[in-house]
Structure 1
């Protein structure tokens, strides 16, 4: 599929990737009434879902997945949910394990390739909620989960009609390297703090597996993935985790329409995260690479974000 020409033109101050990223993450607000539902997982853990609904009964739902250390109340998630509700579709915002305000039960939690949890939510929407049209939208880490899920060696339910990935770190090793650079130091420090805070909560439940000396040695996100993410989820080390879970390798196998929007000035993304070759060889992959937007910072006039409007357009045409 040819690469899409982007029409995104932000105001001058939001052409700066750092400014648009920070504004979107820390300043933007969205008012949305949500209803929480907890579902039990096959491995005796739980996933918390936050629902919002269209005014009239709908047989269409969009499943929304947040990014690293996000949750279902983040504006980059609720903005999409609200827009879809206003256009006749239900929305369910999935909280990854340990991200809903309560620690999950197991030593493991979530990661960039945790597609089994997404499948649990998909199956719940089909068999318990009776939705016939399901769309998936993932932001950042959540986008990688969506694209990996759709391209894995699994039977994708026929109810899934399409997927959307925004600011997706499709090459995890490359994005990890970018996050360690000076330009991203404020973000890396913030992510590391939140992740370690979560581990210290989990330490109370698993003191023998999470010792103070080990936690104090974690200075970078890659070290965190080496120590916890990889070992807790069955990988040898951080590199093994990155190689097995990077969404890039799964793009050729996707057979439902997908839209990927990655901004060229997104400082979190390495060159490999712009899958031009893959888009040209897969008629289901629509790749849009705006010049601006930073990381999930597609700010435009009127309160709606460009990526949210494009997601609605994409779903409406698919």
Structure 2
């Protein structure tokens, strides 16, 4: 992807925040959604939003896995829905547990390395849409989980999906976790995430009293502490270090056997450039795009005579075109 940020948005933080808060996300009408609730094998549920528009019965299905605390209302989901509608694709956003606006039922949530959940979801999509080629994109946390799935399932993943892409994913979770816990990131992004994650965790504690240390959770001030109290123990990890090490996709990228794209801006405030994989580390099935600018799921583009207002349609266009090459 060849990308250059607008002159009036210097730096990764500006490109990240403006894209999330101020950008135009769709060229045509805003997407409309139809929601399905899927029952999971462990007695829980996942809500899936399908974009409502006409597409050919044999057109590809693009599945988007959202990022931390994301949903079908996230700016990137709307932008990818716009791309899908303009290109005649079916489009769906499965919500990770607890992210659809209703608390899930089981004593668990979601995490960066949940390749079993990804496999169950993609298997369900494939069985419900056998005539449609399946392609998938994951954003940030969702992209790490998607590439973990591609690596863990190897040839089986290649038979399931035509191609996958990860956008701005912290493929080295420890590097990303420490980066978001420092300085400006800690004051802005960490507070933003914890403002929704902690209340949801407390509601989960009300469902299952004693599930974790409630008082310690109320004192949590960064994602390291949150993961140590909640994410790691609820999903089978010993602690934060164990979770970040075992859930990271980077060490397994060479095992991927399906065409896979990893897009990371070098100025992403969440993902240190030094932690990104090199082409020699990933094998020939994986393509790396690492532009100098873009921020975290930003990639805003100027529009109009003065460069304002801007939009975030260029990244979905580039990633979507790459995925379609493999259909």
With the length of structure 1 as denominator, give the TM-score of the two structures: 0.93
Question: Out of 225, 234, 246, which is 2:227 matched to?
Answer: 225
1:176 aligns with 2:177: yes
> Quick check: 2:300–2:312 contact (8 Å CA) kept in 1?
yes
Matched ranges for 1:194-209 at <5 A? 194-209=196-211
The residue that corresponds to 2:19 in the other structure is 24
In 1, distance between residues paired with 2:236 and 2:288?
32
The residue that corresponds to 1:3 in the other structure is none
Question: Out of 228, 237, 240, which is 1:238 matched to?
Answer: 240
Pairwise CA distance, 1:105: 0.5
> Quick check: 2:157–2:258 contact (8 Å CA) kept in 1?
no
The residue that corresponds to 1:49 in the other structure is 48
> Quick check: 1:14–1:20 contact (8 Å CA) kept in 2?
yes
The residue that corresponds to 1:270 in the other structure is 272
> Quick check: 2:23–2:300 contact (8 Å CA) kept in 1?
no
Pairwise CA distance, 1:287: 0.7
Matched ranges for 1:1-318 at <5 A? 6-28=1-23, 30=25, 31-53=30-52, 55-59=54-58, 60-153=60-153, 155-156=156-157, 158-185=159-186, 186-278=188-280, 282-301=283-302, 303-318=311-326
> Quick check: 1:36–1:50 contact (8 Å CA) kept in 2?
yes
> Quick check: 2:62–2:92 contact (8 Å CA) kept in 1?
yes
CA deviations on 1:185-243 (whole Å, 9 max, x unpaired) are 21011112211011111122112224541222322210111111010001000111111
Query: Over aligned residues, Cα RMSD in angstroms?
Result: 1.7
Which portions of structure 1, spanning 4 or more consecutive aligned residues, are displaced by more than 3 angstroms?
301-304
How many residue pairs get matched? 312
Pairwise CA distance, 1:29: 5.1
In 2, distance between residues paired with 1:83 and 1:221?
33
**3-state SS in 1 of match to 2:9:** helix
| 7-16 or 246-255, which deviates more | 7-16
> Quick check: 1:62–1:134 contact (8 Å CA) kept in 2?
yes
In 1, distance between residues paired with 2:23 and 2:34?
21
Structure 1: give runs of 5+ residues left out of the alignment: 1-5
